[in-house]
């Protein structure tokens, strides 16, 4: 059975003092909780803090994006090797905010995904449709194209070292969650698409749901057969909410 994975995406939130309390509370609350993989995706400046607080604990950490180049004149950017210097295990790639606000195309996301894999990180590839796309009946096609761009770039075998997160854009930060059935339908389609290339890789692939996942709706989403965890934004900033979701993920 696939292990559930609950990941907090802090986005551009936090501060040294606030993070210290949050990480401490999460570690204390997770004592005695086993059977769920947990990680936090923190802003770059706090990677050292996350490493110091979390090294040797069951909670992993990572960054929210990465540049695909190994080094060079890319002012403001951060490489895979730099993330490795802070012992990151994971990195998010292709979050919808990166795609929409920072103009990352499917092809650019695929390059980041490939660089992360090549550098030994476990990338979480985010995919998902906008409200307009859903209403136009394009959900399946949009998600399939986003996934396909990454798949074509790295090959299906590499997906054994990656995670996919389905995050409908209309559900992110809006309080409007996909219903368990709506999410399951897309998760099943993602798994089927991967299975078309390699059934074993598909069977093992963790596919997370993201978009207003909260303690109140986590259990019913996580109970769906193809939902293997959550990528949590707002609720990951509140220790008790994040912990409640982690507990709901224990199978």
Q: What residue ranges bind ligand PGA (CB under 6 A)?
A: 9, 167, 172-173, 210-213, 231-235
- What's the rounded Cα separation, in Å, for the pair 113 and 111? 5
**Shortest distance in whole angstroms from residue 16 CB to ligand PGA:** 22
**Shortest distance in whole angstroms from residue 44 CB to ligand PGA:** 17
Q: What is the DSSP letter of 197?
A: T
Catalytic residue among 68, 95, 104, 129: 95
- Is-catalytic flag, 95? yes
**Shortest distance in whole angstroms from residue 166 CB to ligand PGA:** 11
Shorter beta-carbon distance to ligand PGA: residue 213 or 249: 213
**Shortest distance in whole angstroms from residue 143 CB to ligand PGA:** 15
Shorter beta-carbon distance to ligand PGA: residue 86 or 166: 166
Ramachandran quadrant class, 137 (left: phi over 0; alpha: psi -120 to 50; beta: rest): left
Shorter beta-carbon distance to ligand PGA: residue 207 or 213: 213
Report the residue closest to ligand PGA, judged by CB: 233
Find all residues with CB under 8 Å of 248, minimum gap 6, and list them. Answer: 215, 218, 219, 222
Shorter beta-carbon distance to ligand PGA: residue 125 or 172: 172
**Shortest distance in whole angstroms from residue 171 CB to ligand PGA:** 6
Burial 120-143 (b: 16+ CB within 10 A, else e): ebbbbbbbbbbeebbeeeebeebb
- What's the rounded Cα separation, in Å, for the pair 42 and 148? 27
Angle between helices 215-222 and 239-248 (to 10 degrees): 20
What secondary structure, in 3-state letters, does 59-123 show? EEEEECCCCCCCCCCCCCCCCHHHHHHCCCCEEEECCHHHHHHCCCCHHHHHHHHHHHHHCCCEE
SS3 206: strand
Shorter beta-carbon distance to ligand PGA: residue 62 or 210: 210
Catalytic residue among 37, 97, 104, 167: 167
- What's the rounded Cα separation, in Å, for the pair 142 and 122? 23
The catalytic site residues sit at 95, 167
């Amino acid at each position: 059975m696939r292990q559930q994975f609950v990941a907090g995406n802090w986005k551009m939130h936090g501060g040294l003092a606030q993070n210290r309390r949050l990480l401490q509370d999460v570690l204390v609350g997770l004592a005695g909780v086993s059977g769920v993989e947990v990680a936090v995706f923190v802003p770059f400046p706090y990677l050292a803090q996350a490493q110091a607080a979390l090294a040797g604990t069951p909670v992993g950490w990572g960054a929210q994006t990465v540049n695909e180049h190994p080094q060079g004149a890319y002012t403001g950017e951060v490489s895979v090797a730099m993330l490795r210097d802070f012992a990151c295990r994971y990195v998010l790639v292709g979050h919808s905010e990166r795609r929409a606000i920072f103009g990352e195309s499917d092809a650019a996301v695929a390059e980041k995904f490939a660089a992360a894999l090549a550098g030994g990180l476990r990338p979480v590839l985010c995919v998902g449709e906008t409200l307009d796309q859903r209403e136009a009946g394009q959900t399946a096609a949009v998600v399939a194209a986003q996934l396909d761009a990454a798949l074509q770039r790295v090959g299906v075998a590499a997906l054994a070292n990656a995670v996919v997160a389905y995050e409908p854009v209309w559900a992110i930060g809006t309080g409007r969650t996909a219903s368990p059935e709506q999410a399951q339908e897309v998760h099943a389609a993602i798994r089927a698409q991967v299975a078309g290339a390699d059934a074993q890789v598909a069977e093992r692939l963790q596919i997370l749901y993201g978009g207003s996942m909260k303690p109140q709706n986590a259990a019913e989403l996580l109970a769906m057969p193809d939902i293997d965890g959550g990528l949590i934004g707002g609720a990951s900033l509140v220790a008790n909410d994040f912990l409640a979701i982690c507990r709901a993920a224990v199978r």
